[in-house]
């Protein structure tokens, strides 16, 4: 399977910065990896324009579980599709923390994304306390069981393993710990989806930088990266993608 290097821009940047960043990523000419950028909602269309003619895919960072309705301030999967998004990040730990999203909410959103034929990028990951108490793998297995909808494998859904304590901190798990968790996630996907589970991409996210990308991306069952801070600098994002 082709590795996926995804940039989660979170709530950063101005419109002109978003256009410039997308344009620079589009010109990157990276071999060997698929690239995805996920700007804030208002920048989806201008970023789509900046990516035109390139192979870089466009994604969003969240969506509502309903296709339409009286949900002030929310955005639906059909709207995202209309704006050119092919992927939707769901269940990021910042959404789980800031907006109280639980596994059932993430699953409902993933169903909405599937209904539009878009690809969900479902995030899972343990807290530092859970890691220290030896619960990391069962916590992540539980999140997968609760968050992934039936049909996830048919659309080649993506799982992103992001230990909460590694996000934006400059800290990462050891390579052994990343490999062990990705092997566990692979086993959970195979148990749930059969042979198709073996073909789904499992991304690592949390303080991925040009300096550590090569080692992380070389680990078994690490099929790409979900990059936060370093995705805001085109040269860094492209360097991570080139490390595949
Ligand atoms: O949350 C992340 C991507 O979704 C990771 O963020 P950082 O790469 O800034 O640690």
Q: What's the alpha-carbon Rg for the chain, to the nearest Å?
A: 17
For the segment 58-70, the average pLDDT, to the nearest whole number, is 98
Q: Kindly tell me the burial class for residue 13, based on how many C-beta atoms sit within 10 Å of its own C-beta (0-12, 13-18, 19 or more).
A: middle
**Residue 54 tokens, joined:** 């390139």
Which pLDDT value is given to residue 1?
Answer: 85
Among 110, 174, 102, which residue's Cα sits nearest to residue 136? 174
Query: Residue 92 CA: which ligand 1 atom is closest?
Result: 4
In the predicted model, is pLDDT for residue 10 greater than 90?
Answer: yes
Ligand 1 mean position, distance from CA 205 (Å): 6
- Pocket probe mutation, ligand 1, options 206, 209, 211, 239, max atoms within 8 Å of Cβ: 206
Please, what is the average pLDDT of the chain?
A: 98
In the predicted model, is pLDDT for residue 109 greater than 90?
Answer: yes
Contact at 8 Å (CB) between 162 and 144? no
DSSP 10: T
Contact at 8 Å (CB) between 77 and 112? yes
For the segment 37-47, the average pLDDT, to the nearest whole number, is 98
Which pLDDT value is given to residue 2?
Answer: 93
Among 63, 161, 53, which residue's Cα sits nearest to residue 105? 63
Strand partners, 131: none
Ligand 1 mean position, distance from CA 97 (Å): 14
In the predicted model, is pLDDT for residue 89 greater than 90?
Answer: yes
Distance from C-alpha of 25 to C-alpha of 71, rounded to nearest angstrom:
34
Domains and CATH numbers, the chain: 4-242 (3.20.20.70)
pTM exceeds cut of 0.95: yes
The answer on whether 13 is annotated among ligand-binding residues is no
For the segment 148-170, the average pLDDT, to the nearest whole number, is 98
For the segment 50-75, the average pLDDT, to the nearest whole number, is 98
In the predicted model, is pLDDT for residue 29 greater than 90?
Answer: no
Ligand 1 mean position, distance from CA 29 (Å): 23
Q: Report the percentage of the chain scoring pLDDT > 70.
A: 100
For the segment 206-211, the average pLDDT, to the nearest whole number, is 98
């Amino acid at each position: 399977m082709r590795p996926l290097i995804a940039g989660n821009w979170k709530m950063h940047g101005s419109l002109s910065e978003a256009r410039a960043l997308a344009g620079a990523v589009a010109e990157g000419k990276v071999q060997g990896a698929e690239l995805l950028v996920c700007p804030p909602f208002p920048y989806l269309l201008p970023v789509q324009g900046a990516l035109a003619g390139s192979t870089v895919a466009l994604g969003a960072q969240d969506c509502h579980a309903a296709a339409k309705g009286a949900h002030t301030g929310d955005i639906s999967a059909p709207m995202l599709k209309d704006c050119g998004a092919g992927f939707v990040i769901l269940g990021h730990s910042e959404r789980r923390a800031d907006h109280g999203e639980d596994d059932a909410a993430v699953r409902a959103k993933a169903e909405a994304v599937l209904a539009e034929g878009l690809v969900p990028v479902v995030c899972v990951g343990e807290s530092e306390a859970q890691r220290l108490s030896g619960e990391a793998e069962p916590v992540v297995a539980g999140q997968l069981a609760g968050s992934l909808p039936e049909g996830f494998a048919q659309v080649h859904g993506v799982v992103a393993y992001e230990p909460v304590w590694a996000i934006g901190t400059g800290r990462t798990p050891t390579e052994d710990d990343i490999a062990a968790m990705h092997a566990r996630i692979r086993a959970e996907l195979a148990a749930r989806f059969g042979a198709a589970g073996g073909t789904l991409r499992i991304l690592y996210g949390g303080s991925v930088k040009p300096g550590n990308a090569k080692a992380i991306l070389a680990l078994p069952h690490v099929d790409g990266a979900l990059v936060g801070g370093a995705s805001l600098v085109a040269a860094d994002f492209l360097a991570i993608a080139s490390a595949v």
